[in-house]
Chains A and B, each alone.
Chain A
Amino acid sequence: MNTAYSLWVMEYAAVPNYPQSGLIYGMHNQGTRKLPYCYVVIKGQGQIAMVDVGYNHKAHGEVLANTYGVRGWHSPREVLGEIGIQPEDISNIFITHSHFDHMGNIEDFPKATFYLQERELSKWVWTMSLHRKFRWLMLGIDPADIMRAVDLARQHRLVCVDGDREDVLPGIDLHAAFDTHTWGSMYVTVRNDLAPNSQSSWVFCGDLAYGYENLRGHDPADPEYIPIGLATGSQFNVIMTADEMVESVGGDVHRVIPPHEERLKDLYPSRITTAGLRITELALADGEKSQVK
């Protein structure tokens, strides 16, 4: 079987001690875990794409470090440089949702076309027209990101996707997950054998799952779906989307990749860079050299 894409999960910062309750519904008073901040690189078929781009350190780095305990931020140039890629090499970026830590750093990718669900934008705007007593619904949104998105649209580098889209690049599909973590979240499927009924699919789920507990519960022998710690939409939709994602990879839960899941290191080869950031290698395209050995 041919492998079309190399897939890497690139850590760019982390919160060493994040409350479990913020991630896995119902885990109150059960301590903390490391919450890595990551984006995903998809390289192959003559293109380099990414899932999400991280947060804007220039604007928020100091506040996030001093107040919220985010540590070790490094720029995309440094992070991607570890696998021989420059930000200018990135051609396509799939934004799973519009929170600051997923789409804040769009200005660092000057040549990329960005894909975002149209509903994520239009519901943002609708939410902003509500009275301030509804401001919780705006959580995690940076107004500056909205202005950067205007620039992208004017440069014809913003593609508003309306629902599912197959083969946005060969073997790469976008799936809408409306009214889940956010109004217009989406997840990205890579069919790494390029086959329509792939036997080698991967799902990059953004914040539709923070950790594997969301996808298999606390007892792998008796799996269940447990919602994420935060949803603007409904937890019912979150659970149904979790099932959709797991089923789409043939039930192999470890082929659904939550970018905030530290335990990816226990499942896939990885290495720590000199900056202390982890690179996890999920797959290597035919002819591609490992970046973690």
Chain B
Amino acid sequence: MVDDATATYILENQRCFEDLKQVASQLAGLLVLAAAGSKEALPDHPALCAARELFREAGDALRSARPTERAGRHHAHLARAAALIAVALKESEGVLNVDRILIPLRAGYSELEQAADALPGFEKVSFSRACCGGAHA
């Protein structure tokens, strides 16, 4: 159970969490293509442009968040995730160097996973819409 103020924090910050997760996914997806030698893995790939735009929106939301004491740990993880993903995005300017991007990206995603574990309401994977996980117990 969470108090009302924390519930409000959860509702207000689900989108920011989802957006950061999406940015991490977009970057990781490009890295897979790059590491696998795909000719589509270019610095002007639409996924990278989308990631930068989404990250700006997530950053704005994060700055306006008002964490309660109960949500403090969650917010700290979210803030650290954003900082690390920012580093990964910076590294993705110009040539896609998989190693230089992957290290901060992986650390950033790990912070997101810890954020998801810190409070209810933040899903690492949307199983509710997945084919073989959508049956509620």
Residues of A within 8 A of B (CB): 15, 17-19, 22, 32, 35, 37, 59-60, 63-70, 99-101, 118, 121-122, 124-126, 128-130, 132, 135-136, 138-144, 146-147, 149-150, 153-154, 158, 160, 181, 207, 228-230, 260
Within the complex, which residue of A66, A125, A150, A229 is in contact with B98, where a contact is CB–CB below 8 Å? A150
B102 contacts A150, C-beta separation under 8 Å: yes
Within the complex, which residue of B28, B47, B49, B129 is in contact with A143, where a contact is CB–CB below 8 Å? B28
Q: Which residues of B contact A17 (CB under 8 A)?
A: 135
Q: Which residues of B contact A153 (CB under 8 A)?
A: 32, 35-36
A121 contacts B33, C-beta separation under 8 Å: yes
Main SS class of interface, A: helix
Within the complex, which residue of A101, A144, A150 is in contact with B132, where a contact is CB–CB below 8 Å? A101
CA distance A149 to B35 in the complex (A): 9
A147 contacts B125, C-beta separation under 8 Å: no
A146 contacts B29, C-beta separation under 8 Å: yes
A60 and B124 in contact, given A35-B132, A68-B135 (Cβ under 8 angstroms): yes
B36 contacts A59, C-beta separation under 8 Å: no
Q: Which residues of B contact A118 (CB under 8 A)?
A: 36, 38
19 A–B contacts from the bound complex (CB under 8 Å): A22-B135, A32-B135, A101-B132, A118-B36, A121-B33, A122-B40, A125-B29, A140-B126, A140-B130, A140-B133, A143-B24, A143-B124, A143-B125, A154-B35, A154-B99, A158-B36, A207-B131, A207-B132, A230-B131
User: How many residues on the B side are at the interface (Cβ–Cβ under 8 A)?
Assistant: 46
Q: Which residues of B contact A138 (CB under 8 A)?
A: 25, 126
B125 contacts A100, C-beta separation under 8 Å: yes
Q: Which 9 A-B pairs have the closest CB atoms?
A: A153-B35, A69-B137, A140-B130, A125-B29, A129-B47, A146-B28, A143-B25, A129-B46, A139-B129
Q: A63-B123, A143-B24, A143-B124 are in contact. List 7 more A-B contacts (CB 8 A).
A: A32-B135, A64-B127, A67-B136, A68-B137, A99-B131, A140-B126, A160-B38
A128 and B127 in contact, given A100-B133, A121-B33, A147-B109 (Cβ under 8 angstroms): no
What is the total of A-B residue contacts with beta carbons within 8 Å? Answer: 157
Interface residues of B in 34-55 (CB under 8 A from A): 35-38, 40, 45-47, 49-51, 54
Nearest neighbor of B137 in chain A, beta-carbon distance? A69
Residues of B within 8 A of A (CB): 18-19, 21-22, 24-26, 28-33, 35-38, 40, 45-47, 49-51, 54, 98-99, 102, 105-106, 109, 113, 123-127, 129-137
**In angstroms, how far is the closest chain A Cβ from the Cβ of B12?**
16
CA distance A271 to B111 in the complex (A): 42
**In angstroms, how far is the closest chain B Cβ from the Cβ of A59?**
7
Nearest neighbor of B117 in chain A, beta-carbon distance? A62
Q: Which residues of B contact A124 (CB under 8 A)?
A: 29
Q: Which residues of B contact A143 (CB under 8 A)?
A: 21, 24-25, 28, 109, 124-125
CA distance A15 to B137 in the complex (A): 9
Q: Which residues of A contact B125 (CB under 8 A)?
A: 60, 100, 140-143
Within the complex, which residue of A35, A59, A135, A149 is in contact with B32, where a contact is CB–CB below 8 Å? A149
Nearest neighbor of A32 in chain B, beta-carbon distance? B135
CA distance A99 to B136 in the complex (A): 18
